């Protein structure tokens, strides 16, 4: 993990491996908000303490919004609680990006409603506390006719939204927050959950083995198969550094 937002000293959360604060839910959420907003006032303590840390000045609610921090208290299996970033909202579920100590650095999972006005984590924790809303002035997508952010992130990986400044402009014009989408893309990219069957690493190795052709032929074949040509090529180039 080379992203400074998830590493000490920019990220002051507990270090898990060297200077890296992942895999850990607190290190991920702290870093994700750094990536989205540049700076913030979230604590670097146990996940169960986040919702009660009201000195940060952020609004709190039981209603989910994109970019909010979903908070759970501890339970019999994990006294530290859990936090995650809301990246999608459904009628009876939320989609969150998260990390778990001893698990994946990044993953995107669904949390179903728990029948008590809250949500249950993918690990079965139903001690839901609420949502910490993003800083004032942050524009999140609330139009129910729009696709959820997880779907858009997959489309970005598939190359449907362009690259670089074009991608940012296209997403912004469509009403999506570029930083939230890009954070989710990075999460999917790191975890290998790209929705196209194989991870970027696997496809990059196949490219090096000559299984996807060269030049324009390679680009066309990868795109038709649902992979982002630029991401694959970047990973291929990394192997030769």
Tell me, what CATH number does 91's domain have? 3.90.1720.10
Q: DSSP code of 95?
A: E
Check if the beta carbon of residue 228 is closer than 8 Å to that of residue 156. yes
Q: Are 58 and 133 contained in the same domain?
A: yes
Report the number of distinct structural domains present in the chain.
2
Judge whether 10 lies within some domain. Answer: yes
Judge whether 182 lies within some domain. Answer: no
Judge whether 178 lies within some domain. Answer: no
Q: CA angle 232-234-236, nearest 5°?
A: 70
Judge whether 180 lies within some domain. Answer: no
pLDDT at 193: 57
pLDDT at 155: 83
pLDDT at 54: 95
Q: Are 130 and 210 contained in the same domain?
A: no
Domain finish residue from 121, 137, 153: 137
> Which structural domain, as residue segments, surrounds residue 207?
200-239
82: left (phi over 0), alpha (psi -120 to 50) or beta: beta
Give me the residue label for tokens 């949500």.
119
Q: Are 47 and 130 contained in the same domain?
A: yes
- In this prediction, the residues of the chain whose per-residue pLDDT falls under 50 are 141-144
Judge whether 11 lies within some domain. Answer: yes
pLDDT at 143: 47
Judge whether 174 lies within some domain. Answer: no
Q: pLDDT by residue (tens digit) across 5-40?
A: 999 999 999 999 999 999 999 999 999 999 888 899
Is the model's pTM score more than 0.75? Answer: no
For the chain, report the end-to-end CA distance as a whole number of angstroms.
17
Judge whether 177 lies within some domain. Answer: no
Judge whether 156 lies within some domain. Answer: no
């Amino acid at each position: 993990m080379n992203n400074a937002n998830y590493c000490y000293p920019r990220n002051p959360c507990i270090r898990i491996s060297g200077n890296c604060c992942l895999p850990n839910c607190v290190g991920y959420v702290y870093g994700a908000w750094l990536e989205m907003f540049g700076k913030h006032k979230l604590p670097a303590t146990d996940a169960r303490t986040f919702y009660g840390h009201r000195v940060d000045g952020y609004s709190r609610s039981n209603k989910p919004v994109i970019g909010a921090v979903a908070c759970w208290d501890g339970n019999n299996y994990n006294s530290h609680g859990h936090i995650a970033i809301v990246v999608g909202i459904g009628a009876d579920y939320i989609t969150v990006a998260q990390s778990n100590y001893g698990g994946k650095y990044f993953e995107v999972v669904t949390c179903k409603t728990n029948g008590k006005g809250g949500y249950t984590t993918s690990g079965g924790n139903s001690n839901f506390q609420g949502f910490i809303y993003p800083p004032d002035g942050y524009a999140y997508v609330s139009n129910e006719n729009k696709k959820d952010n997880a779907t858009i992130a997959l489309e970005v990986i598939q190359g449907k939204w362009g690259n670089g400044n074009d991608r940012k402009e296209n997403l912004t014009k469509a009403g999506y927050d570029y930083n939230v989408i890009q954070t989710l893309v990075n999460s999917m990219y790191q975890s290998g959950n790209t929705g196209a069957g194989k991870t970027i690493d696997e496809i990059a190795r196949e490219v090096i083995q000559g299984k996807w052709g060269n030049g324009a032929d390679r680009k066309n074949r990868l795109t038709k198969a649902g992979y982002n040509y630029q991401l694959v090529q970047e990973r291929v180039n990394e192997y030769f550094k």
